[in-house]
Each structure stands twice: as C-alpha cells, then as structure tokens.
Amino acid sequence: MTEPIDLKTTFTPNDGEFFRVKLALEIAIDEVVNEPGCIRYELTEATEDKLVLTERWASEEDLEQHSKGAAVQDLNERLSALLAEPVKWERL
C-alpha cells in the first residue's frame, strides 16, 4: 500500500486580483474534491499576498491523473493573467 501524498500549493495574486484568484480556486476545489484519490483539497490560507491550497492524494498515480485533468487545465487558464509569480508546489 502506498503512502498518501501531501502538498502545499501557493498562489501569489497580482495587485488587486485576490478575489478573482480566490474565486478561480473555489471553482477548482468544487471539481477536484470529487476526483478519484482526492482526500483533501482545500484553501487553508488566504491573504491579499498569497493563497495556500493544501492537498492530500491517496497515491502518486492519483496525483498524476489529477495534474493532467480538466480541472487543473481550466484553473491554469483562469489564473494565467492573475498571478504575480509562478505557482509554487511543496511536498510535505
């Protein structure tokens, strides 16, 4: 049996774009929580400077499928002009 995969993903919005970034993340969360292997996918910190999404996946395979899925592609599209810097992923 594989160990769950924990991630922390940080989004840094452009000035004045906090609420648009937050809305894009909330839309993605609603879709992703129903994906196979998703144990946790929630916004755990939200300030004007950054938003942090905490993720837990049942396996590496589930995470890989998620990263190729429509919800992530749609989120990346929505965020493309709203972020001050690239998204940062950190395995915990």
HEC-encoded secondary structure of 36-85: CCEEEEEEEEECCCCEEEEEEECCHHHHHHHHHCHHHHHHHHHHCCCECC
**pLDDT at position 57:** 98
Give the whole-angstrom CA distance, residue 43 versus residue 22: 9
Kind and range of the H or E run holding 23: helix 18-32
pLDDT, mean of each 10-residue run, the chain (92 residues) = 91 97 96 97 94 97 96 95 96 95
**pLDDT at position 2:** 79
| Dihedral sign of CA atoms 29, 33, 37, 39 in order | positive
Q: What is the set of domains in the chain, with CATH numbers?
A: 5-91 (3.30.70.100)
User: Token digits for 35?
Assistant: 């994906």
